[in-house]
Amino acid sequence: MIQIGTSLNVIDNCGAKKVYCIKLPHGFKKRYAYTGDIILVSVKSIRSRRKLTSKVKKGELYSALILRTKYNKQSFSNKSEVLRFLENSVVLLNKQNRLIGTRIFGSIPKLFRYTKFMRLISLSTGIVF
């Protein structure tokens, strides 16, 4: 469950390290966002090695797709399995909702295979049920 004010890790190679959720754009009085939702974030810190060649700048606003949450989520296929990660993570998107980075570090949930973000599957290192 991601809400306004949540600090998130960025798990792609766009150059950002930490972002801060500032808005949940879809829905009236929506309080939480879950895996697969798009939110509006502000970049809080940049990776130290990529400061000169970074694709993003500190303080800029971007859309972000939530890939991992600490909140329990039932499996897409098997209702008895629960999907849970150790951190809240996102990847940054540009204005046309395309990925800014070209690599994704770590595994992502299988539910992205059935969405318009199927390109994530080929960029990530693994898939979790």
Q: Quick: pLDDT tens for 55-78.
A: 899 999 999 999 999 987 766 666
Q: Which of 41, 75, 70 is nearest to 58 (CA)?
A: 41
Global pTM value: 0.88
Domains of the chain: 7-104 (2.40.150.20)
Q: Is 119 helix (H, G, I), strand (E, B) or coil?
A: helix
Q: Quick: pLDDT tens for 96-129.
A: 999 998 899 988 888 888 888 888 888 888 887 7
Which residues sit opposite 127 in a β-bridge?
108
- pLDDT top residue among 61 and 36: 61
**How many residues in total does the chain contain?**
129
Q: Where is average pLDDT lowest: 17-21, 22-26, 76-80?
A: 76-80
Q: Which of 78, 73, 56, 67 is nearest to 127 (CA)?
A: 67
Q: Which of 75, 90, 86, 80 is nearest to 128 (CA)?
A: 75
